[in-house]
Amino acid sequence: MISLNIGECLPGSSSRNPRFLPGRGSCKGLPMIAISPHRASQPRRWACAVMLCILGWVCQTSAQTPLPGGGKSAPAVALNLPDVHHHSPAEKTVSLTLGQCLKIAQERQPTLAALRASLNAAIAGRQALDTIRGVSSVLTPDLCLRKQQADRGILVAQAELAQAEHDVNYAVIRMYYSVVLAQRQAALAEDIIAQMETYLEFVNGLIKDGATTKEINVDTRDTLLVYLSQLRGKRTEAILAQERAMAGLREAMGVGCEMEFLPADQQLPEMNLEVEKATVVDLACSRRGEMTLASVGVEIVWLETSAQSAIRFRPLTRTFAAGSDLHAKQVPQGSREAEYRPNAIGLEMPSHLVGDRTSRMARSAALGERADAVLQKTKNLITLEAENAFLKWQETRSKAKHLKEGAAAAKKLVERVRNDAGGSLKKSEQLTTEVLTAQALAAYNESLFQQILALAALERVTAGGVFVQFPGR
């Protein structure tokens, strides 16, 4: 039997992955049970039924994962979901902070509920293996190794759930501030439209009274109409973008459209963070759920070699894959388009192995070498993603700094121009100033939003190793 501590399965562990050792992998010393007298008349039929039950139990639970604390069974995960008050149209729309939205998402997102159910199923499957005793265990020579694989299956389920929680947080943060951005852009467009309409009313009055000048005339009116049509289009885009973002936020939170609320934040926060690229990469490689999945997968595949060694006289045997679908989780595909993205690779294991003991062990060992390559590829991809996230954060931080200066200068410029004109339109250059100011402020808002997304991506990539203290969190 191969013995391995649970800590060796975690990312960053210095322990080598288990390999098949000759002479090991068997389960001895298991107790026998006596057949009661009234069953003795049908011993063969009874033994066949036990063997069928054992095969069903083992194959159903062999792909599950380890329990913390040396393989002891853990209690099932129970969710206490609070009641969320759904507001009728007559009621005032409630405001939710980012922290409240994140809390609701962790409790109500169906993706997380599904993964918690999978974790509970893995735990139940591992506990079922402990019920196989006596003659049943003797008839299953690989039972102890299947238990080790099931222990590691629980680690897989835990890692998937942990990574999904970070993915949900990222989705909520992104959608929450998408709503705030749309609100800011709509308010900005509304302000400029109001000013342009004031100018248009003034120019129409001059044209009606025949008091036009060289600077302010019919051409000015037409220019205003062009600007207004474009600004109104931008306002419509922002309003619809807000509705789309709210729909995305509700989905990320796991609530329906009957729950009416708005983000409590009215401004996009200016965030700052000091972190080194090497720190981001180290955190990503040590904390990401994908690394746990890959490293534990290596352990499970190499344990299969030992399990095949324990089964001596069967030409056709089932593997741990018979009770699970290795291809249920899609492997990310690469892209060779404008945005380059390399391919990922996944584990392989057939549901059955054919041949004598030596042939089955050889094939399983070859697939174990593939699992080693999958682990290395996973680490390389996570490193690449972490580096890209860090560089994106540096880019957005620098851009936001420059656009902030431009937005501040544009505000001062438009205030001076409006004060000098006394609320009226004296020069056509005023229109250019208004439009230029709107563009500068809109660009700054967008840069703040991209900065927020970059920070949220850093948190997701490092699986919470980089924690961003957004307002209201």
Closest C-alpha among 168, 108, 142, 135 to residue 51: 135
CA–CA distance, 223 with 429 (Å, rounded to integer): 11
| pTM for the structure as a whole | 0.76
Burial pattern 226-244, b for ≥16 Cβ within 10 A else e, equals ebbeebeebbeebeebbee
Structural domain contains residue 211: yes
CA–CA distance, 296 with 43 (Å, rounded to integer): 40
Q: What tokens does 125 get?
A: 């499957």
Give the per-residue pLDDT at 215. Answer: 86
CA–CA distance, 228 with 195 (Å, rounded to integer): 10
Q: Summarize pLDDT for 299-350 with one digit per residue, the tens.
A: 999 999 999 999 988 899 888 876 665 545 555 666 667 778 888 888 888 8
Whichever domain contains 120, its CATH number is: 1.20.1600.10
Give the per-residue pLDDT at 68. Answer: 38
Residues of the chain short of pLDDT 50, as ranges, are: 1-90, 327
CA–CA distance, 460 with 174 (Å, rounded to integer): 12
Q: CA torsion 359→133→62→324, rounded to 10°?
A: 110
Q: Quick one: which H or E segment has residue 95?
A: strand 94-96
Structural domain contains residue 251: yes
Relative to beta strand 261-263, strand 94-96 is parallel
Give the per-residue pLDDT at 333. Answer: 64
Structural domain contains residue 262: yes
Q: Is 14 helix (H, G, I), strand (E, B) or coil?
A: coil
CA–CA distance, 75 with 96 (Å, rounded to integer): 33
Give the per-residue pLDDT at 276. Answer: 95
Structural domain contains residue 247: yes
The DSSP secondary-structure symbol of 229 reads H
Structural domain contains residue 28: no
Give the per-residue pLDDT at 323. Answer: 60
Total domains in the chain come to: 1
Torsion 455-457-461-463 (CA) sign? positive
Based on C-alpha coordinates, what's the Rg of the chain? 32
**Phi, psi torsion values for 22, nearest 5 degrees:** -55, 140
Structural domain contains residue 75: yes
Could you count the other beta carbons within 10 Å of the beta carbon of residue 22? 6
Structural domain contains residue 6: no
Structural domain for 455, as ranges: 44-461
Site of tokens 């690394």 = 291
Partners of 354 in beta bridges: 316
Structural domain contains residue 22: no
Partners of 263 in beta bridges: 96
Q: Quick one: which H or E segment has residue 318?
A: strand 316-318
Under 8 Å CB-to-CB from 35, ≥6 apart: which residues? 43, 46, 135
CA–CA distance, 224 with 401 (Å, rounded to integer): 32
